[in-house]
Structure 1
């Protein structure tokens, strides 16, 4: 059925890729983790370097899970408060860095994702539907971010086409300046071709009917895309700060936004 929930757990069953045990290496926090489960469990021992690095070397997610269970007394004291954030970070990296998995996640549409197992009533549904299903909820949240990013990209592409065809004026005046330039007030106008995508991104993000956190998540995804482009990364960093100021003060003074690069 088109709207029936999607249940996942076993790796050899449909949508087994959604399991944290699925072998999809991720690069995160300076390490390459064989699975998202490796990253998740290792964060429990961030204050115990020996255990942290030992988990990184373990071959299978099952070994990692069992190791973490055997050393519960050493788990960081704030784990209950941060475990949701850690899981979100691990899963977002997994589905951002593997385009086939991202495509599979997007293909689920509006269907509810459920980790179906009696072994876990927090991350899973407890087997009888009474569990919290926090992993399924996390994946649906990430899918929502991807959906909004795709909509943003389509909006940027459409906006650029319309501007080129109809020669629209910019609804928002965006000045990109290098405040460290040798000549005082020197503008980067000569680099406008390089920044056109970035300017449209600003335009779209500022007009999005989304929360500040959702906008910041979109920026984080663009940072991943431009991780090898230092100019774009600095622009995105400053845009993140600008959005915080806009959300804090409720708008842009005189309809102008200036970004230092």
Structure 2
């Protein structure tokens, strides 16, 4: 195995923090989920880390996805006990709902074809590929799963 894992030459590398990229978590494509309107996927994801309804609301109403992320990373607030086991489902629900709410987001995701999607984060080894590309790339996998689901629905 090479020192740095390789991705196919056609892989699409992107940053989920790019607010101008419709497939990113910072893009301002609001959606309705769990009886509330969420300004972005980042707002929803970060708020769902907590059982405290007041704190979730504080995250939901944050003025910018970066502020929502900062609130979600608050080490003094207790996270849900099951967070580690549900975080990928939470992210998938948010991305799928965003795509079903905004046809242009779904079209942007589908327009990428069948290429491997890689969240190009140097620091995030869970959601991204990490600096050495040995990360799990779970956000890229979430997007590819949602893309497959959208294609499946289009065929029906």
| TM-score of the aligned structures, taking structure 2 as reference length | 0.89
Q: Alignment partner for residue 28 of structure 2, among 23, 26, 30? A: 23
Q: Residue 104 of structure 1 corresponds to which residue in structure 2?
A: 108
Q: Residue 6 of structure 2 corresponds to which residue in structure 1?
A: none
Gaps of 5+ in 1: 153-261
Gaps of 5+ in 2: 1-8
Higher helix share: 1
Q: Alignment partner for residue 11 of structure 1, among 3, 18, 31? A: 18
Larger Rg: 1
Distance 1:56 1:4 in 2: 36
Distance 1:135 1:76 in 2: 21
Matched, 1:84 2:84: no
Over the residues paired in the alignment, what is the CA RMSD in angstroms? 1.7
Distance 1:94 1:108 in 2: 17
Following superposition, which runs of at least 4 residues in structure 1 exceed 4 angstroms of deviation? Answer: none
**Secondary structure of the residue that 2:112 maps to in structure 1?**
coil
What is the CA-CA distance between 1:12 and the residue it aligns to?
6.6
Which of structures 1 and 2 has the larger relative contact order (alpha carbons within 8 angstroms, sep 6+)? 2
What is the CA-CA distance between 1:128 and the residue it aligns to?
2.5
**Distance 1:5-1:101 versus aligned 2 partners, 3 A rule:** same
| TM-score of the aligned structures, taking structure 1 as reference length | 0.54
What is the CA-CA distance between 1:18 and the residue it aligns to?
1.5
Contact preservation (8 Å) 2:19, 2:26:
no
